[in-house]
Structure 1
Amino acid sequence: MQMKNDEKQRILLAKKKVRRLKLFYIHLAGYIVMLILLSYNLYIVEGPYKNNIISLNLSIMVAWTVFIIIHGLRVFNGRSIFKRSWEDKKIKEYLNEDEVEETKTWE
């Protein structure tokens, strides 16, 4: 019985993580679309209120960028882009390249 409860807890936790990741990707897609639209608006703006519109658009872009970074940090908390295994693999790769270069040199 305990095993079924543990399995249910793991499934619920996995579903929660997937939902948070899905919401982040939706948020990111909306951010990219709005960033494109606001950038286009900066390009076409004219008139007496040009400076006000530009400052409003730039402040929205900066604020939303900060929010998307915070959201990403909350979703990907503790995850590293470059894991230790990746670093070790790259070190071995570069060491192998050095060995190959040493054998190819003409003496």
Structure 2
Amino acid sequence: MSTQDQDKLEKAKAQLRKVKIFYIHLIGYCIVIGLLLYNLYIVAGPYKNNIISLNLSVMVAWTVFIIVHGLTVFKKRSIFKKNWEDRKREQYLEQEKEEHTFWE
């Protein structure tokens, strides 16, 4: 096996590890968010407002972290890929060209 193939294999293993860690993070997130939502449902007593605000702040912060983690792991898989951008650019150039030729 050549060094290039070995480098590609190592990169693939590293990317697979990142995806696996993200999914573990996502599972933990879903479990904890479910428990926090249940806690919001059953909370009562004199510290109800403090508990609710703490739970909501944890939910918001962790949601932001999971979104950022997902974006860093899947950054190469964007919705608007380079070939899509190129096609749209050509389409707009064609439209502009047609508009100019109509009046000339």
TM range (shorter): 0.7 to 0.9
Aligned equivalent of 1:97: none
Aligned partner letter, 2:9: I
Pairwise CA distance, 1:78: 3.2
Q: Provide the C-alpha distance between the structure 1 equivalents of 2:13 and 2:53, rounded to a whole number of angstroms.
A: 41
Alignment partner of 1:74 is 2:63: no
Listed as ranges, the matches of 1:11-22 within 5 Å are: 11-22=9-20
Aligned equivalent of 2:26: 28
RMSD (CA atoms): 1.7
Percentage of identical aligned residues: 63
Aligned partner letter, 2:4: D
Q: Tell me the TM-score normalised to structure 1 length.
A: 0.72
Pairwise CA distance, 1:7: 0.9
Aligned equivalent of 2:101: none
Aligned equivalent of 1:59: 57
Pairwise CA distance, 1:81: 4.1
The farther-off stretch of 53-62 and 3-12 is 3-12
Alignment partner of 1:50 is 2:48: yes
Q: Which consecutive residues of structure 1, in runs of 5 or more, have no partner in the other structure? A: 86-107
Q: Which consecutive residues of structure 2, in runs of 5 or more, have no partner in the other structure? A: 85-104
Aligned equivalent of 1:39: 37
Aligned partner letter, 2:41: Y
Aligned partner letter, 1:65: T
Aligned partner letter, 2:63: T
Aligned equivalent of 1:91: none
SS of residue matched to 1:79: coil
| Residues 1:67 and 1:54: Cα distance change in structure 2 (over 3 Å) | same
Aligned equivalent of 1:100: none
Q: Provide the C-alpha distance between the structure 2 equivalents of 1:53 and 1:5, rounded to a whole number of angstroms.
A: 56
